[in-house]
Chains A and B, each alone.
Chain A
């Protein structure tokens, strides 16, 4: 790769006509011309490398930016938000001087190419974002979506992804407390591997990615730089797959969780001694991103000597060094008199650390190689002033037809026996079945603060041992709903995550999202994206939960066929005392079961329509955000005041799915009565939103009913915790053994 003579700025100026491989690096012609215009000359090879990765869809959000602005414009007033969109991750005040940072990202494309490393480095990347904010990572969550459960490629991708997440996260000592596993043939060839992480810090420990103070040193520390992941952001994450092209495996990074664990400990020790002025992790676009973003966010410029970067492969060219996405690296800005102490801490942890440059009082990012200046740019033009596209979008022609294909008109079970068979089939279907085979490969005990982990409605971590202060997180998304109506689908994803957090007793505070869509160059996909963003921004505004950051993953499609639009929403909540949390499992026989909320005939996009009829059509459940807010308030109050002993939100699979899960987890059955005004089928299987089922001790019955009545939440007594079967009076009974076999046997049979 290395050219002779070295392609310095001087050389580029003198040789304006040299052809550069901008197309191979993923730049469009007009984008390349814009680079030439910005520089007033052709870029050097190194500059081209930087612009190409930083202006990629993955790094620049060029197709999504115009829509994402709504998250800021419509952001609700929130006292809790300490750091908002634009930093490595958002930061939320949770009280008692504690702050929590969290974020969800995608590692979809790499995980399809190389499932183990793709998923593993997805965990590594999101965890470095959390460290970069100054926090100790305390938990991870993994929302996953795969092709049909019985498809051969799912058997290739899923075990690798799960092993990669476990292999990396377990080795880091981070409990895996939540997430989802969804199967749908639309994700065949485009699995969605999203990864979320939470970190905890004191307010005064918040760090930002900026390089300020001329003379301060830029220290690169962590792993040596190798040839892995070159162009990962531009080539891999920002294009669709095409069988005709050569394998993209070299664009996937290789993870070393042990190195990352050392990186966590040594970074936190440096923070503790207040040695760090600014910090940035190296993820997508590697050094190109870290240097340009640090310089761009700071007050001055930056000078970097690339020869000082420790290499794993001495033959790497400067372009490759700038583009490499080798994992487990970070970049810190440190005052000169603190450099020695910083290096000492790195040495204690056996972490390689090297001063590679310094902050200057100019406004240029200058990079040198073998004595020649190979980069001389305004860092803002690399990091922030990338292209912005107003992609055309249009409601797809098939949308009306899809919505007219009403799932409520599908044939329903005609006898009790048929209803029973369908219920059993549903709880055993891959999407509704127990995911214990997967989650048991993740450590959820480490760090000793896990209060709730999957399959609970939200994961919950104790933050403070003295007071019992804790945080909860839930991630949800339903691509089927979003396909039927992307605006409502995004709102339903938020509503479900919000509800899940509240169901465990925590107050929802803030949102992160991972927006997974097809190609932005398809107007129909762009319409789905625009609608989903608009829906989510509107709903966040109404629920008072600001979006603090997140990630967009586009080009999730094979050929012309895009995945279902899949906005995945993470909601973070806070609970004053984790001792008051509400679990899913039934606790005691004799407790009364109440259904909170209204049940309508809503089967569009439902699990029933998928499992029984292989159907997707009609409209998703109605969204009523004020109802969601009221329901959440009731669930939180009931939890705080000890009025409920277990609770479960109702979502896909409807009421019967929730009751079966609570029964199996608690080892106690339930007797249900179909309420007046509802038929058994709708009662059990409708997916109306804004609902939960709770178990109330008899001593609390009056108080609980009074509270719901006073605040206007519909509440219906539907049965009692009892026996060793789930019985629907007048319809059927299924023994817990039978249910357990059905619910827990499916995934191991498919994958083990």
Chain B
């Protein structure tokens, strides 16, 4: 019995199929979820994938958070359902207030696509337990609105509680405060990050590294105790 991990497709989601592949490669069963459908099909965890949902025309993630599927995701995340938001998915999570802060346009005003060095700051969440704290990894980054911001109180709280999950190393690609690349909620079941672990799961494609696979093996181990 393996874990069933749902991947939501919003209109304009781009990395939904890639994320399903990463889940499969990690040994779990990917389940396609549709934005208009409140039913999560009894999955054990959910990934909100990257892309430009609704074209990011209003503000990244701002419309998707109101989709029917998000009602259930928010409700169940609060009850402990593991949720990972990647890039646009992270933006949806902040818009839905499952994670604090917000994402602004990159400070250099360009889309940026690069192999980004990160440091794992919290290896205790549902999605990061297969890493070790302080581990440095390379994960592809590609976005237009990746600049993480929050008020000082929130930042201090995130830092004090160890809820900064990933930090940019050597180069801050977008002007994120405190070099923040990803964060977790207090319970550690909801994690959001701008870089794309699903693009670093096979040695042959993407950057040629597999540094992103532990996201998916972490959750699998948590769910099935493998």
Contacts and interface: CB of A to CB of B under 8 A. Distances in A.
Interface stretch (B51-59, B123-131, B153-161): B51-59
B111 A443 contact: yes
A441 B204 contact: no
Contacts of A172: 14
Contact of B199 (A440, A442, A448): A448
Interface string A566-607: 000000000000110000000000000000000000000000
Interface stretch (A192-200, A255-263, A282-290, A424-432): A255-263
Interface residues of A, number: 34
Contact of B114 (A258, A440, A447): A440
A170 to B, nearest CB: 6
Contact of B196 (A166, A173, A445): A445
Contacts of A258: 11-12, 52, 54-55, 57
A445 B142 contact: yes
A12 interface: no
A561 to B, nearest CB: 33
Given A448-B198, A450-B205, A442 B110 contact: no
A166 B111 CA distance: 7
Given A258-B11, A443-B113, A171 B204 contact: no
B29 interface: no
A168 to B, nearest CB: 11
Nearest to A460: B205
Contacts of B11: 258, 261-262, 349-350
B182 interface: no
Contacts of B142: 170, 443, 445-446
Contact of B205 (A170, A441, A451): A451
Interface in B105-154: 108, 110-114, 140, 142, 144
B52 A257 contact: yes
B221 interface: no
Interface string B6-21: 0000011011011001
B206 interface: yes
Nearest to B51: A173
A435 to B, nearest CB: 13
Nearest to A461: B205
B111 A445 contact: no
Contacts of B54: 258
A167 interface: yes
Nearest to A578: B204
A163 interface: yes
Contacts of A256: 55
Given A171-B52, A173-B51, A349-B11, A442 B204 contact: no
Nearest to A447: B18
Given A258-B54, A447-B17, A448-B206, A167 B140 contact: no
Given A170-B52, A445-B206, A261 B12 contact: yes
B113 A173 contact: no
A507 to B, nearest CB: 19
B208 to A, nearest CB: 9
Contacts of A449: 205
Given A257-B52, A261-B12, A441 B21 contact: no
A442 B205 CA distance: 16
Contacts of A448: 15, 17-18, 21-22, 198-199, 201-202, 205-206
B205 A257 contact: no
A462 interface: yes
Tier of interface size on chain B: 20 to 34
A444 interface: yes
A350 B9 CA distance: 14
A430 B57 CA distance: 35
B215 to A, nearest CB: 14
Contacts of A446: 14-15, 18, 142, 199
A447 B114 CA distance: 16
Nearest to A581: B204
Contacts, number: 88
Interface string B55-90: 111000000000000000000000000000000000
A52 to B, nearest CB: 33
Contacts of A171: 12, 14, 52, 55-56
Contacts of B22: 448
A646 to B, nearest CB: 14
Interface in A399-420: none
A350 B11 CA distance: 9
A405 to B, nearest CB: 41
Nearest to A259: B55
Contacts of A445: 113, 140, 142, 196, 199, 206-207
A257 to B, nearest CB: 7
A478 to B, nearest CB: 28
A262 B202 CA distance: 28
A449 B18 CA distance: 9
Nearest to B109: A163
A440 B113 contact: yes
Interface in B15-57: 15, 17-18, 21-22, 51-52, 54-57
B111 A167 contact: yes
Nearest to B173: A440
B113 A163 contact: no
A462 B204 contact: yes
Contacts of B205: 448-451, 462
A130 to B, nearest CB: 17
A579 B207 CA distance: 14
A399 B54 CA distance: 54
Contacts of B18: 446-448
A171 to B, nearest CB: 4
Contacts of B207: 445
Nearest to A258: B55
A362 B173 CA distance: 62
A471 B199 CA distance: 19
Contacts of B108: 752
Contacts of B14: 171-173, 261, 446
Contact of A441 (B15, B55, B57, B110): B110
Nearest to A167: B111
A39 B12 CA distance: 46
B221 to A, nearest CB: 23
A610 to B, nearest CB: 29
Contacts of A441: 110-113
Interface in A688-705: none
Contacts of A443: 111, 113, 142
A449 B201 CA distance: 11
A261 B22 CA distance: 22
B204 A451 contact: yes
B112 A440 contact: yes
A256 B52 CA distance: 12
A448 B23 CA distance: 13
Nearest to B57: A258
Interface in A284-323: none
A466 to B, nearest CB: 13
B31 to A, nearest CB: 18
A603 to B, nearest CB: 37
Interface of B: 11-12, 14-15, 17-18, 21-22, 51-52, 54-57, 108, 110-114, 140, 142, 144, 196, 198-199, 201-202, 204-207
30 contacts: A166-B111, A167-B111, A170-B142, A171-B55, A173-B15, A173-B51, A256-B55, A257-B52, A257-B55, A258-B12, A258-B57, A262-B11, A440-B114, A441-B110, A441-B113, A445-B196, A445-B199, A445-B206, A445-B207, A446-B18, A448-B15, A448-B17, A448-B18, A448-B22, A449-B205, A450-B206, A451-B205, A462-B204, A465-B21, A579-B204
Closest 8 CB pairs of A and B: A258-B55, A173-B14, A448-B18, A445-B199, A171-B52, A443-B142, A166-B111, A445-B140
Given A442-B111, A446-B18, 15 more contacts: A167-B111, A170-B142, A171-B52, A173-B51, A258-B11, A258-B55, A258-B57, A261-B12, A350-B11, A441-B113, A443-B111, A443-B113, A446-B142, A448-B201, A579-B204
